[in-house]
Amino acid sequence: MIDPKSLPSSAGYAEAADALVEQYESVSFVEVHRDVLHLFPSTPSAILDIGAGSGRDAAALARLGHLVLAVEPTAEFRRLGQQLHADQDIEWVDDSLPELSVLRSRGRRFDLVLLTAVWMHLDEQQRALAMAGLVGVLTSEGRVVLSLRHGPVPVGRRMFDVSADETVALARDHGLDVVHLSERADPHGRPGVRWSYLGLQGAAVAR
């Protein structure tokens, strides 16, 4: 039997892309992110959506006038997202954590970095590298908004049991302070699944 933790971080997504896109799009951006909406920029800003999936969040943010770059390593998601949200000006990039090598080579910085249901796919070493990478693409007053999935791991996926406390400690090790932390039930109503939502910002700015 294959150990799920030995799988690639994006395992199981390409094969189920059509069904997953339908699932993602069945819940609105506002409902998914209701706990952290106050952390999003109120004026047009540069936003990086890492693990953009179907493009639901990227499209909602583009409609608000933001300049959105959607990073998605799964080709099927990029294709479907571009088709589904063709009416929105979203730049799609094939890249992934922890390196974000394509993005970092461009030297761009963002006012907000969004990671929805992404962080728990990375192992401990990858999370440390990824946090350093996030700091490297933030503007001086930029924020990171991320969600952590807790509960049963779907068959064929790779997920780790990552706590909010661990994520907070890692962020602080990299010069970020917590400006928001909350927990809620799964917006899709899946049994045993809950979510933590975190907002992170440079320590000097957060104070």
Asked whether the beta carbons of 9 and 164 are under 8 A apart, the reply is no
First to last CA, the chain: 49
Least reliable range by pLDDT among 93-97, 115-119, 187-191: 187-191
- The residues that bridge with 182 in the sheet, in sequence order, are 197
Residue 142 token pair? 């930029």
Task: Give the domain range for residue 199.
Answer: 4-206
pLDDT 10s digits, 28-57: 999 999 999 999 999 999 999 999 999 999
User: Residue 185's domain is classified under what CATH number?
Assistant: 3.40.50.150
pLDDT 10s digits, 116-160: 999 999 999 999 999 999 999 999 999 999 999 999 888 887 889
Asked whether the beta carbons of 137 and 108 are under 8 A apart, the reply is yes
Residue 171 token pair? 């962020």
For the chain, the domain total comes to: 1
The alpha carbon of residue 115 and the mean position of all alpha carbons in its chain are separated, in whole angstroms, by: 1
The pLDDT of residue 7 is: 45
Residue 178 token pair? 């917590």
